[in-house]
Amino acid sequence: MGNWFTDKLFSFFMNRDADQNTTVDLITWNSSYEIGHELIDQQHKTLVKMINDLNTAYSGDNTATREELANILSKLVNYTVFHFGSEENLFKNSAYPHVEEHIKLHESMVNKISTFQEEFNKGEADISNALLSFLIEWLLQHIKGTDRGYIKYI
């Protein structure tokens, strides 16, 4: 990341609400994120909440301990794997023509966040604006891009 847009995005989102002294959510769920499948939309909402929770723990007024951050990150990684499994079960049994490519995208994302989690747990990496930006970009591209491709087949 580290480009002008990302820097401005985080400058905006990382500002706390002066009246409430709280951290602003990075992603606010809205109808444009819905793909039209109740289960998958609910899982996407959960992923949004988990990313927002990680941001709050990282940048909130009472910054979380490393152990607390590790716990939130672990839940995010595990839920991502669970969510991808749900999606794959839906489109593997359909006429969706891009099953293998979609699974490879899932595997790539799981590898990236699992590698980060391992580095974080070893003390070799920290939660950062760059990580949060990556998670936002990934999730929104996942929801608004690749997932819309399979929905008409299930």
The model's pLDDT over 54-95, given as tens digits with 9 standing for 90+, comes to: 999 998 667 789 999 999 999 999 999 999 999 999 999 899
3-state helix, strand, coil in the chain (%, to 5): 70, 5, 25
- Give strand pairing partners of 22: 17
Domain spans, the chain: 4-10+35-153
**Domain 4-10+35-153 is in which class?**
mainly alpha
Say if CB 146 and CB 89 are below 8 A apart: no
Contacts of 82 (CB under 8 A, 6+ apart): 43
Quote the pTM value: 0.83
Q: What dihedral do alpha carbons 96, 98, 101, 102 form, nearest 10°?
A: -40
Q: Give the pLDDT of residue 53.
A: 94
Q: How far apart are CA 9 and CA 28, in angstroms?
A: 14
Residues of the chain with pLDDT below 70 are 1-22, 60-61
